[in-house]
Structure 1
Amino acid sequence: MTVAMLKLNTRAVLRLSGSEARPFLQGLVTNDVMKASEDHAVYAGLLTPQGKFLFDMIVVATGDDLLLDVEAPRKPDLIRRLMMYKLRADVTITDEIDLSVWVSFEQPSGTGTSYQDPRHESLGWRLMTDTAPEDTSLSLDAYEERRLSLGVPDSSRDMEVEKYFWLETDAERLHGVSFTKGCFVGQELTARMKHRTALKKKLVAVKADGGSLSSGQKLETADGKNAGEIRTTDGTHGIAYLRLEFSDTSLNADGAPVQLA
């Protein structure tokens, strides 16, 4: 039986190979990439030293190598950043231009590297392959509706680069951080936010209660206070960067009621 799949044109694949590939990445990103295997993917972020979002990635192993499912438009910037940290480490960074990332709501059977989305099990499966699957009928609208309703951000479309702290992206709920793995870039401030301070803002899933949402739209309280803004949306479901002091308050976008999903 074939599985309906969708090609994610906004994603690309990098390969890290060499004897120090895994410890190299382990010392940089927010999650424990030592746990990545051929059937278990790990979601992680690469942050600024101040703990703010730079890049996110899904990491899966193939043999001794690591494959990184990354944001395609910002891939050159990520390669430059990794090269800056590499120094003399035995790591080769390869741009796998022949591999594409596909998604499905069921486990795919095509050739390539398949892995369940580690951020949320209901977001389905992903496949890195150089061969188009037989059934490409999964629509982008269907995938986006599910992603948004689950509150899963889509890289820099939802997370502002060098502005949002990693925990503000809801990374802890999405299995994107380990507080036991040891050091990573931005670890000190991320741990401090976890254990010593309360988050004031965070990405949350929202839903229009009538009306239609649009990207960049402001969220307001009933008395006109600025509560946040819509990041990505399909018109009904959306992801918003919300001031959490207003999470129990009636919200609206241009007068239309908005609910936290």
Structure 2
Amino acid sequence: MPAEIATDRKLFDLTGKDCLHFLQGLTTNDMRPLDGADGIVWAALLSPQGKYLADFFVVRSGGRLFLDIAAGLAEATVRRLSMYKLRADVQISESALSVVRGLEPPPAGALPDPRHPALGWRGYGLPGGAPVIDWDAIRVTHLIPESGIELIPDDSYILEHGFERLHGVDFRKGCYVGQEVTARMKHKTELRKGLARVRIAGEAPVGAEITADGKPAGTLFTRAGGFALAHLRFDRAEGEMRAGDATLHLAE
């Protein structure tokens, strides 16, 4: 499968001696593995109320530090990070390099996507062509949310969208913005809602309300063939559900 340029992503250079310490205090994941070693960490930025604002990859590659983020979230996220940095020695500037991604085999300099092996690898400044890979099918198969689709700013909670399973949150790293709410959801409550894979027959648009016995049960998101991702109330998702003209059932 050829490498492709990720036209839906933006890349930023992170420079300054305080970058990792700065991100450590703001994001859901541990940045210390990137201190002096190449690697890639997936993390989220949350509101003080614990709601998702953005997710991104922080990457050390070839001695440089990068922020790899969905294009639609880039401007607001860089603005928010700039607001938080105060006097920290941190500079964020758009990079001239492209984000390149692909499946096996990875080229020299590529890094494995930390969320799931099925997502292949990511590279920066490597050669690549036009997008050809059906990432939606991969995401639906492996229950992986996407920025701006399943992950909705100021609405989503990361634990309901699989961030723990996908290595996007560290519960031992210490404080960060939104940490208290996230920790409480992890340790003191049982999740009653979450991302699930459903079988679907019939037509319904992304964002359609899902009902069960006439009661609201969730929201339909990415579809790939006869399966889709949905954010569901687990107590209403056992039997047949409806969305638009489609019939849904939880997938095994």
The alignment's TM-score, normalised by the length of structure 2, stands at 0.90
How far apart are the structure 2 equivalents of 1:233 and 1:227? Answer: 18
Matched, 1:246 2:246: no
| Structure 2, gaps ≥5 residues long | none
* Alignment partner of 1:184 out of 165, 176, 186: 176
Does the Cα contact within 8 Å between 2:204 and 2:246 map onto a contact in 1?
no
Q: Deviation at 1:138?
A: 6.1
For 2:118, the equivalent position in structure 1 comes to 122
Does the Cα contact within 8 Å between 1:214 and 1:235 map onto a contact in 2?
no
Q: Deviation at 1:61?
A: 1.0
Alignment of 1:74-85 (within 5 A): 74-85=73-84
For 1:93, the equivalent position in structure 2 comes to 92
For 1:170, the equivalent position in structure 2 comes to 162
| Structure 1, gaps ≥5 residues long | none
C-alpha RMSD over aligned residues: 2.1
Q: Deviation at 1:63?
A: 5.3
How far apart are the structure 2 equivalents of 1:84 and 1:137? Answer: 35
How far apart are the structure 2 equivalents of 1:180 and 1:88? Answer: 27
How far apart are the structure 1 equivalents of 2:122 and 2:50? Answer: 28
For 1:56, the equivalent position in structure 2 comes to 55
Q: Deviation at 1:65?
A: 4.0
Does the Cα contact within 8 Å between 1:12 and 1:75 map onto a contact in 2?
yes
4+ long deviations beyond 6 Å: none
* Alignment partner of 1:160 out of 139, 152, 156: 152
How far apart are the structure 1 equivalents of 2:20 and 2:62? Answer: 12
The alignment's TM-score, normalised by the length of structure 1, stands at 0.87
Query: How many residues align structurally?
Result: 250
Please identify, of 84-93 and 144-153, the stretch whose mean Cα deviation from structure 2 is larger: 144-153
Does the Cα contact within 8 Å between 1:213 and 1:234 map onto a contact in 2?
no
Return the letter of the residue paired with 1:256: T
* Alignment partner of 2:215 out of 215, 219, 225: 225
How far apart are the structure 1 equivalents of 2:177 and 2:105? Answer: 34
For 2:25, the equivalent position in structure 1 comes to 27
Does the Cα contact within 8 Å between 2:17 and 2:89 map onto a contact in 1?
yes
